[in-house]
Amino acid sequence: MSYKAPLQDYAFLLHRVMRVQTLDIPGYADLDEGFTGAVLEEAGKLATEVLSPLNAVGDREGCVLENGVVRTPSGFKAAFDRLRAGGWMALDCETEFGGQGLPCLMHTVVNESFVSANMALNMYQGLTHGAYSALRAHGTAEQKAYYLPKLASCAWTGTMNLTEPQCGTDLGLIRTRAEPDGAAWRITGTKIFISAGDHDMAENIVHLVLAKAPGGGEGTRGISLFVVPKLLPDGSRNAVSVGKLEAKMGIHGSATCVMHYDGAKAWLVGDLHKGMRAMFTMMNEARLGVGLQGYAVAEAAYQAASAYARERVQGRAAEGAGPAQPLIAHPDIRRSLMDQKAFIEGARALAFWGAALIDRGRHGDAGAEGLASLLIPVIKGFLTDKGFEATVQAQQIWGGHGYIEDNPASQFVRDARIAMIYEGANGVQALDLVGRKLASDGGKAIRTFLATVLAECQAQDGDPVLEPLAKPVKRAAGQLQEALGYFMSVAGTSPHDALAGSTDFLHLMGHVSLGLMWLRMARVAAAEADTSPFLQAKLVTARHYMTRQLPACALHLARILAGGETLMALDAEAF
C-alpha cells in the first residue's frame, strides 16, 4: 500500500481557501495554480516512487555504526541524492545561497508529502534546514558564505546539539564547555539524542552546539552557540565522534547519535553568551515542522487503514442480511476513519496557515509574527498528540494484523510517537503557551486569535448551511475565553491552579483552531458542493468535526476549572 500525496486537498487549501495569490505577502503573487500544481505533483511522485518504498526498509534495517561512521539503510543515499539533485531541500532558501527563494508555505506543503512517505529519511534534510536558518540569522558574513550554499544544497548536512545526559529541557544545566583558542574555540563535552549526528549521505556534517563559555555566569545566561564542522576547512577530521547509536522505538532510519566533542575546533555563532537567542531563532520553524510530522504520519496511516477497510471482508452489516461486508460497512469503523479524516484535513489547514503567518513575520509584520508564536505550541503539541492518537486509531482498524510487522500500521505508530517528545515535549509546549505566550505583548496575540474566530463565526449568521457549523465554534471560543478568565483570576495567587490546566488549555485551543479551519473550508465548499463530491465530503467532514470533536472543549474546560488541588495534594512518596 503506497502513499500518495493528497494533491487535490493541497490545491483546495492553497487556491480556494487561502487564495494565496491574493495575499499581500512577498512571493505569493507568483504562486499560481499551474506553478504550485507542477511543483507539488513532482514532489508527490518522488514521495510515492522513491521515498515511500524505502520507509519499511529503513524501519527494518535501521542505521549501523561501523568504525566510527554511521551507515544508513539500503537505498537511503540514492534517494537522498535524488532529493538533492532536484533542489528539494532548498525550496525556501535564499537564491544568493543557491536556494529557490520560495515562501515557507511551499516548503511546508512539499515537506508534508516527504514526511508522510518517509519521516526518518526526511529528518536529515529537516535538521539541515534548521542549521541553515540559524546561521542565516546569526552567522557572520564569512560563515554565511562558507556554510549556507553547502547546507542549502545538502552537500553538507546540519544538526542541532542541545541535550546532554543530565539535562534535556533545562538547558541551564549543560556541562559542555567552550574555551577560546585564538580566533576560534575548543568544545569539550557530550551531547545525546542528536538526530542525523553522523551518516554516509553527505560530504560533511555541520554541528550547531550549545556550550558554556567563560564569563557567562550560571544558567542559560552563560550559554553560547558554536558551529563545529565534522571536517575542518583544510579537510582534516575535527575532534568530534559518535559514541553510540540510540536503539529507538521508531524512526529507525534516522541516525540518533551520542556525540563526543574532545576539544573540537569551533567558531562562535552570534554574540557571546547569547546562544539561546540564536538557537531559538529556528524554533518556530522547527516546531511547525514537528507539528506537521504529527499529522503527516497520520495521513499515511489513514491512507493504509482506509484502503484496508475497503478491502477486508469481516462481519455482516448492521442490517444483518446478506453476505459478509468490508470493514467500511460498519459504523464504528466509519467513526474511526471520520475522526482521522477530520483531524488530518483540519491539521493540514492549520499548518499551512501557520506557515503563511511565518512568511508574513519574516517580512516585518509584527502582528503575524506574534500570532505565529502563539499558535506554534498548539501546532506542535496538539497536532502531535492527536496525530499519534490517529495512528493508533488507524492501527486498530487492522485488528490483529495491525500488530504484525508484516503490515505498515505498527511502524506508523512507533514513528509518530517521537514527535510528541522532541523539540520540546508537549507538556513544555503547554507550559510555554499558558506561562508565556498568552501574556506576551499584553495578550495581543490571543485577543487577535479570538477576534479572528468570532469574526468568522459571525460572518455565517443567517446562512442555512454554515450558521449551524459556526455555532459550535462560537461556543468553543466562549469556553476558551472562560478558561482565560480563570487563569487571570488565579495566576497571581495560585500559579499551580493555572499550570495544572495547561495541557487541557493547549487542547482546548487546538480544537478551536481546527474548528476555525473547518469553518473556513466549509464556507468555500458550500458555494459549489452540489456539483463536487470532493466538496460534499468537505461539508460532511466539517459537520463531523463540529458535532463529534468540538464537544471535547467542555471536558477540557471542566478540567481547567478544577484547578490543581488533586495534582499537588500528595507527598512525592505517595507516587
* Residue of 417, 416, 476 whose CA lies nearest to 449: 476
> Kindly report the CA angle at 162 between 161 and 167, in degrees rounded to 5?
140
Helix, coil or strand: residue 73: coil
What is the C-alpha separation between 96 and 401, in angstroms, rounded?
51
Burial class (CB in 10 A: 0-12, 13-18, 19+), 429: buried
Q: E strand or H helix at 397, and its extent?
A: helix 366-397
Q: Which pairs with CB-CB distance under 8 Å and at least 24 residues apart come from 360-368?
A: 360/25, 362/104, 363/25, 363/26, 367/444, 367/448
Cell of 533: 463530491
Contact yes or no for 429/509 (Cβ under 8 A): no
Q: Which pairs with CB-CB distance under 8 Å and at least 24 residues apart come from 96-102?
A: 97/132, 97/136, 97/144, 97/148, 97/149, 97/152, 98/148, 98/149, 98/152, 98/153, 99/152, 101/27, 102/27
Q: Does the annotation mark 179 as catalytic?
A: no
Side-chain half-sphere exposure of 568, counting CA atoms within 13 A? 12
What is the C-alpha separation between 141 and 185, in angstroms, rounded?
18
What is the C-alpha separation between 299 and 391, in angstroms, rounded?
8
> Which residues, 6 or more positions from 267, have their beta carbon under 8 angstroms from its beta carbon?
143, 184, 185, 226, 227
Could you say which DSSP state residue 235 is in?
Answer: S
Burial class (CB in 10 A: 0-12, 13-18, 19+), 482: middle
Beta bridge partners of 262: 188
Contact yes or no for 343/417 (Cβ under 8 A): no
Q: Which of 164, 299, 423, 456 is catalytic?
A: 423
Alpha-carbon distance values, 474 to 115, 508, 548, 553, 571 (Å): 34, 13, 15, 11, 41
Catalytic residue ranges: 423
